[in-house]
Amino acid sequence: MKNRKVPKFFIKNNMQKSNITGVYFENIISRDDLSVICYDLTGQRDFLYEFVDNEYEDEFLSKSYNKGRLGILRYFDKVFYISFSDISNKGRNSALQSVPTAFNLFFTNKYKNKELYFYFLPNSINNTTNYHIFMYRLMASIGFSFLNIPDKLKGYIKPFSSIDDLILSRKENSNKNSGNNATYIVKNGNNSYDIYGKTYGANKYDTSLICYAICSIAQKHDSITLFEYNEQDLSELPESSLNVLRIMGNINIINIDDELELRELRKNNSIRSPRFNARLLDRFGEKKCILCCCEISEIIQGAHLWPVSEIKNRKDLSLEQKVYYATDGENGLWMCQNHHKLFDSNIIIISENGKINYKDNIERNYKDFLDNITTNFELPSFIVTHKFQEYIKLRNELITQNL
């Protein structure tokens, strides 16, 4: 690489949609921005800059539009990757969609003497929500340094110290009791963590960034699995993201597909189906026992209403139908291990109207104990759907048969 005694910026001028919008990088990045950045990174006042077209290529930029909203600054044998904030405001996470791409390009380039930065363009908007702070902290965790931090964000952008720290911060800032996140991080026992990540649409940016951060801060003894979760199609994370995760090397990547679910069903009676878990996360949000509100993720399980052992025994169902019932989100509830066992032992019984009861003729001291550990005696109405009632009916018919 040519040794540059005067710092020089190379910035691809075209954005993905410049042809339509008429907005190019030379319209949004001023000479003042570049001057500040150059002085911060090199201590030099004099610099050169060039907005290059799609055809331009060198060892840091390929023939294409500006992926990752990146500028490359070269000075002697040093290379600085600078990702610029998005000044548009098209939706919750559109502003940071280019960040994983910028990281991918930085991370996979083999050049050694490189550094990664983020620069807030002066006219950035709407970038101080809890969601954004969380995303900036993910960026700090994977090695982004921030060249300038808006006043409202000062003191907030620091890397996560551990996966538990990351999970806690996310919980505190997210809308509790609601599902529909792009990504869920579940802590199991023994330093094992499962990431349930949606891979379609804009979700894939969140999922990629969360996985990068978790892999970056993981300790040696942590075991991490990414379950790629799709309801709408069979897509995976983009190849560029998967490539980064493979290089990081400390994450096991599993696509939740039909074959996986068929295998699980054949193997396990007490099904540990990733699809079932993903659907419960989507339906109920983070793990929390429906009967006592316990949130200790390590002891919370997906409890089936119509038991998997019974579904498997039904001779009138095809294997595909069995998988359908065993993984249906409406056929399940989150329960702590205590309540799950009590439910499966038919000591606690849920009726079709969503009311919680104990079995008949229960001993006095049993009842006192159950009263002590149980806080909810009626399920919220959104849970008591028609399908839910069908599953409960099938379950409760079994209890009657066995009496």
Interface with Zn ion (CB under 5 A): 289, 291-292, 294, 336, 339
Q: 75 with 113: CB under 8 angstroms?
A: no
Helix (H, G, I), strand (E, B) or coil at 253: strand
Torsion of CA 10, 14, 15, 19, to 10 degrees: 170
d(CA 94, CA 16): 14
Q: 37 or 335, CB closer to Zn ion?
A: 335
Provide DSSP, 257-318.
Answer: -HHHHHHHHHH-SS---HHHHHHHHHHH-S---TTT----GGGEEEEESS-HHHHHH-TTS-
Q: 219 with 191: CB under 8 angstroms?
A: yes
d(CA 386, CA 392): 10
The single-letter code of the amino acid at 311 is I
| Shortest reach from residue 335's CB to Zn ion, in Å | 6
Q: 138 or 294, CB closer to Zn ion?
A: 294
Provide DSSP, 68-102.
Answer: TSEEEEEEETEEEEEEEPP----STTGGGTHHHHH
| Shortest reach from residue 289's CB to Zn ion, in Å | 3
| Shortest reach from residue 82's CB to Zn ion, in Å | 50
Going by the DSSP 8-state scheme, the letter that residue 368 receives in this structure is: H
Token pair, residue 181, equals: 């996140």
Token pair, residue 10, equals: 């190379």
Q: Which residue stretches of 91-238 are H helix?
A: 98-108, 130-141, 163-173, 203-217
**Beta pairing partners, 184:** 196
Q: 38 or 356, CB closer to Zn ion?
A: 356
Burial level of 46, CB count in 10 A (0-12/13-18/19+)?
exposed
Question: What are the respective helix, strand and coil percentages of the chain, to the nearest 5?
Answer: 40, 20, 40
Q: 163 or 289, CB closer to Zn ion?
A: 289
Q: 138 with 144: CB under 8 angstroms?
A: no
Q: 253 or 292, CB closer to Zn ion?
A: 292
Q: 285 with 178: CB under 8 angstroms?
A: yes
| Shortest reach from residue 288's CB to Zn ion, in Å | 9
Q: 198 or 339, CB closer to Zn ion?
A: 339
| Shortest reach from residue 198's CB to Zn ion, in Å | 28
Give the distance between the most distant pair of CA atoms in the chain.
88
Token pair, residue 387, equals: 């399908």
Q: 96 or 342, CB closer to Zn ion?
A: 342
Q: 341 or 393, CB closer to Zn ion?
A: 341
Q: 102 or 294, CB closer to Zn ion?
A: 294
Q: 181 with 170: CB under 8 angstroms?
A: no
Q: 115 or 295, CB closer to Zn ion?
A: 295
